[in-house]
Amino acid sequence: MKSQRSRPSARAVGTSVLVGGFGVLGLVGAVLAGGAEAVDLQVYRAGGKALLEGRDLYDLPVRQDFHFTYPPFAALVFTPLSLLSAETARILVVLANTALVVFIVARTCRTLGTMETRLFTLVVITVSGAAMGLESVHSNFTDGQINLLLVALVLADLTARRDHPALGVGVGIAAGLKLTPLVFVAYLIVTRRYRQAAVASACAGGTVVVSFLLAPTAAADYWLRGVFADLDRIFADPASRHNQSLRGLLLKNGVPQDVTLWLWPVLAAAVVIVTLTLAARAARRGEPLLGVALCGLCAAAVSPWSWGHHWVWLVPFGVFLLWVAGQPRRRLLWLPTTVLVVSSVPALLSLADPMEDGAVPAVADGPLAFVLANLYVIIFLTTLAAAALDFRAGRAPCEPREKGARTAAPGVPPYDRSASRQV
């Protein structure tokens, strides 16, 4: 008697097609990025080469008219790339960024809860592929940026088990490579993780010491002669349409520079306070991922200059939004934020913010132009509002289901409804 093979259901076939489609999308995006110019990567390589050759790192452009803007510790880390050919370095960075996207998605999913291995694999492949469609991720590949590395370092640190011996090291190293991750030291303080905050601060300070030992001239220029505070080094025109930050929003929309000079720090300070308050609340109610994502988005918002690739924290935040989508009571509240995040694709953003020099925006005026030209800041402000309303409503994560229930990831405390605190 012949055994009858059951045919796969339409749902299973559709799921396979969806997963395969997004997987192919991610693969194609990575392959195409391998042929991009990767301008920022070339600047990184040039900075590392300048240190190896004993040339000045900050007084003159390191490549064409591009200045090196990162701390000298970052240039030390980039020196191995300067020993490779441009093509080899570009391919390695594309492969590394691909692995980092998968790691970020996988780590985020584990933080939200455990799931069956096959389902976990399908989710990671699908979300990683879909993430390649976001402009913030896409530009990290095409420009050869390090923001995915920074997110991975911070995420691995802040979602690790509380008894992990290296807690705080990831945040410290990220802050040594770029200053904006320092906001996570404040996050550790407001969530009462003082030991981890101290370790992170010590590691960040250690990167400065290493810089003075191995590149004393560059370290003195950056830390003692004020290079770190020279905003003009980032981009000649602070009011450029490319500046996706609060400061950029003010300057792009007619606020005079002399007013922005004092208004932006005041707004930035207020936004940081609100963000840390909501992030601490999220951690207390058992949603530390939301708190960490809020701080990551805040760092891009309050920075004096933010490119689209600085907003790569939309990847773990997007996974959080997918998780919320499974909770009917919260779905509608977070829907506007979800729509905005999904809209941050290159084709839409380029309508108001084409990256080509001298290009004329297809949508230059009107409400749509305003939204597209300031989309990342609008996403962040909408996120703050949604989080505040969510907490005010007292909504908490859904209870695990009896069958196939998800449990908290290692090191992530469960939510205690009676005490409303971490246990």
Q: Span 289-293, mean pLDDT?
A: 96
Question: How much is the mean pLDDT over the chain?
Answer: 85
Structural domain contains residue 410: no
Q: Is the dihedral of CA 320, 96, 91, 139 positive or negative?
A: positive
Backbone angles phi, psi at 2, to 5 degrees: -80, 135
Task: Pick 5 or 174 by higher pLDDT.
Answer: 174
**Composition of the chain by helix, strand, coil, percent to 5:** 65, 0, 30
Structural domain contains residue 9: no
pLDDT for 25: 52
Structural domain contains residue 215: yes
Structural domain contains residue 22: no
The candidate with the shortest Cα–Cα distance to 76, out of 172, 216, 200, is 216
Structural domain contains residue 297: yes
In terms of residue numbers, what domain contains 196? 27-394
Contact of 286 with 396, CB cutoff 8 Å:
yes
Task: Determine how β-strand 415-416 pairs with β-strand 421-422.
Answer: antiparallel
- Amino acid (1-letter code) at residue 179: L
Contact of 291 with 370, CB cutoff 8 Å:
no
Instruction: Tell me the per-residue pLDDT of 59-103, one tens digit each, with 9 for 90 and over.
Output: 989 988 899 999 999 999 999 999 999 989 998 999 899 999 999
Instruction: Tell me the per-residue pLDDT of 177-190, one tens digit each, with 9 for 90 and over.
Output: 999 999 999 999 99
State the CB neighbour count (10 A cutoff) for residue 360. Answer: 7
C-alpha to C-alpha distances, 159 to 99, 352, 354, 410, 412, nearest whole angstrom: 18, 37, 36, 8, 7
**C-alpha span between 89 and 95 (Å, rounded):** 10
Backbone angles phi, psi at 382, to 5 degrees: -65, -35
Q: Would you give the end-to-end CA distance of the chain in angstroms?
A: 58
Structural domain contains residue 31: yes
- Residue 322 is encoded by which pair of tokens? 């997918």
C-alpha to C-alpha distances, 332 to 124, 290, 314, 319, 389, nearest whole angstrom: 24, 17, 19, 16, 12
Structural domain contains residue 408: no
pLDDT for 397: 54
Instruction: Tell me the per-residue pLDDT of 292-351, one tens digit each, with 9 for 90 and over.
Output: 999 999 999 999 999 999 999 999 999 999 999 889 889 899 999 999 999 999 989 999
The candidate with the shortest Cα–Cα distance to 179, out of 295, 71, 75, is 71
Tally of domains in the chain: 1
Task: Pick 423 or 37 by higher pLDDT.
Answer: 37
Structural domain contains residue 76: yes
Instruction: Tell me the per-residue pLDDT of 346-368, one tens digit each, with 9 for 90 and over.
Output: 989 999 888 777 788 888 888 99
**C-alpha span between 45 and 167 (Å, rounded):** 30
Percent of the chain exceeding pLDDT 90 equals: 62
User: With 80 as the cut, is the pLDDT of residue 399 above it?
Assistant: no
Task: Pick 175 or 27 by higher pLDDT.
Answer: 175
pLDDT for 36: 63
Question: Which of 23-27, 129-133, 168-172 is predicted with the least confidence, judged by mean pLDDT?
Answer: 23-27
pLDDT for 1: 44
* H/E element, 109: helix 86-112
Task: Pick 315 or 235 by higher pLDDT.
Answer: 315
